[in-house]
Structure 1
Amino acid sequence: MSEVAVLQLIGLVVVGIGLLILLFIKAMFVRVVGFVIIMLGIFSLIALGVPQMPSLPPAIETFDLASVKTPDDLAAIGQKIFFSKGQCALCHSIGPSESARCPDLKGIGAKLTPEFIYESLTQPQAYIYLDYRHQGPPKEYPARMPYINKNPIALSDQEIYSVIAFLQKMSGEPISIKVEDVMQLANTQQTMTVAAAHRSSDFERVNPTESTDAPESGEAK
């Protein structure tokens, strides 16, 4: 029996207890309690009857370099990252929105250079964009921009530039991010990862965790 079925059975039992109280007990206070129990049981049954949707984190989009042939391919990947792994749409809107917790990104690719957007993503406190949508002095938006290249989001440079390409395309601008430059970034990062692995391996060889030449206990030195 599923968990929902068990809870529904409990709800029916609660309703039954409430009905028994109303039918066989004359004390007014107890009858009121029985009525409340019936209402709680009915509301519980209604709530449990609503189809339950699992709350899952956004799917992580993989950056498939083999599929990137044109700037439009890069922008397509950037769009997926924008709405999934990058979590940009959680705070930013694309178009005017009174409920936006961060600046509206409509046309941002035409207003700002790729270098400025990159800085805003990787060093979000370098420049603070204020909210002018209300009367009085401008103020900061309620949500604080995270460092997009660090945990928990941790986008790579290739992913960041693909998002910038998406913002440019969305703004009707020619995509200035070059595919070959993004490929070069990927190759550079891969080389650095391999080099770091080799350095770690060399360190282990030079500094073994346990010395094999250590004298045994009681052996003369």
Structure 2
Amino acid sequence: MLYYLVYIFGGLLLLWMVLLSLGVRRMWLSVVFFGLEATLAYTIVGNLVPQIESRPQAELQLSPDATPEQLVAAGEQLFYGKGTCALCHSIEHSDAARCPELGAGQLGPAIGSRAEERVKAQDYQGAAKNGTEYLIESLVHPNAYIVSGFPNIMPVINKPPIGLSVDEIAAVVAFLQSIQGGHATATPNIVAAFLGTEERAPVAAQPVVATMGNRSPEQLINELACIACHKFDGPEPLVGPSLWDIGARANEAYIRQSILDPNAVVSPGFPPMVMPPDLGQKMSAVEFEGLVQWLKDHKGPKTQ
């Protein structure tokens, strides 16, 4: 870019000299060239800002006759990817997990069998009639049953920002049922029936419209589930470090890198590969800049 700037300023200087030689008044030249320089400066600054393409993740499309094995494989990818489930849940026991572990352990058998037991419990007041429906309900109506001792922080996964489709929900449920040797019975039609929608028909996929561009930092940390792993109003760590004083501990470049490439530097004592690597794709450049400045202003007690 430096070479381009040299050429541009050299060209402007040459043009200035030519116009002066033709008798153009210096005052008018000053006005014109000031406008050109201002436009050039804004262009340069705009190109220095990280250009984040706001492209929603592609929706999973499954064949109507997808096998349980295919559903489980797709569900595993969603669990660790688009669904962001692994941000808070673990399969095996983990001290870093903020929500119930899904394998066999202190809470009982693996989640597939546990779901079958849960719907029969006296304290369960949800709408599910069996374990498959319970798992579907736990994804789309997470407040229907809150496991004792855990916070009510799970997002509704068929709504933005995650927005899983019926096919994708079926795949995730199938994966959950398969954990530690369980039998996967979930299908897209079962999910559609539980949600009260019509049985899946072969219609063209509708484009996803991303509502990005003017969300506040407070909206972003909620919609992108940042609050599930970070505290912003106190020093206590959660799954990730507290960010209430990040502006006092880190410079602006570090904050930018931590959002765009979270695995570049992992805070000591915290697990790697937990923070989603695609957060930059879920906000516009304007929102990204606003979030960076908002975090930069968080300097601990001074911001309270």
Give the TM-score of the pair, scaled to structure 1: 0.50
* Structure possessing the higher radius of gyration over alpha carbons: 1
